[in-house]
Amino acid sequence: MHPTPEQDIRGPLPDGLAQAIRATAEDIAGLLRGVPDTSVAVPGSAWTLGEAAAHLALANELMADLMLGRERPYGDGTPQSLAAANAQSLDAFPERRAEPLAEMIADQAEVFLDAASRAGADDEPVLVTPLGPLNRDQLASYLLTHMLGHGYDLARALGRPHMIDRDRAVLCMPFMLRVMPRVTNTATTNGLTARYTIRLPRGTAFGVTLADGALSITPQPLDRPDCTIRINPVTFLLIALGRRNAWRAVAQGQITAWGRKPWLAPRFPTLFVAP
- Give the DSSP letter string of 37-71: ---SBPTTSSSBHHHHHHHHHHHHHHHHHHHTT--
Summarised one tens digit per residue, pLDDT across range 89-146 is 999 999 999 999 999 999 999 999 999 998 776 666 788 899 999 999 999 999 999 9
Same domain? 141 vs 202: no
Summarised one tens digit per residue, pLDDT across range 226-249 is 999 999 999 999 999 999 988 888
Summarised one tens digit per residue, pLDDT across range 177-207 is 999 999 999 999 999 999 999 999 876 899 9
Same domain? 191 vs 141: no
- The confidence score (pLDDT) of residue 118 equals 85
CB atoms within 10 A of CB 159: 7
Same domain? 150 vs 189: no
Number of domains comprising the chain: 2
pLDDT more than 70, % of the chain? 94
Instruction: Give the residue numbers spanning the domain of 237.
Output: 184-271
* Exposed e or buried b per residue across 68-106, where buried means at least 16 C-beta atoms within 10 angstroms of its C-beta: beeeeebbeeeeeebeebbeebbeebeebebeebbebbb
Which of 153, 174, 195 finishes a domain? Answer: 174
Same domain? 148 vs 103: yes
Cα dist. 92→46, 53, 203 in Å? Answer: 18, 15, 45
Same domain? 41 vs 135: yes
Using 50, 70 and 90 to split pLDDT, how confident is the model at 78? Answer: confident
Same domain? 119 vs 18: yes
Summarised one tens digit per residue, pLDDT across range 160-177 is 999 999 999 999 999 999
- The confidence score (pLDDT) of residue 126 equals 81
Which of 117, 146, 174 finishes a domain? Answer: 174
Which of 142, 174, 206 finishes a domain? Answer: 174
Phi-psi domain of 86 (left: phi exceeds 0; alpha: psi -120 through 50; beta: other): alpha
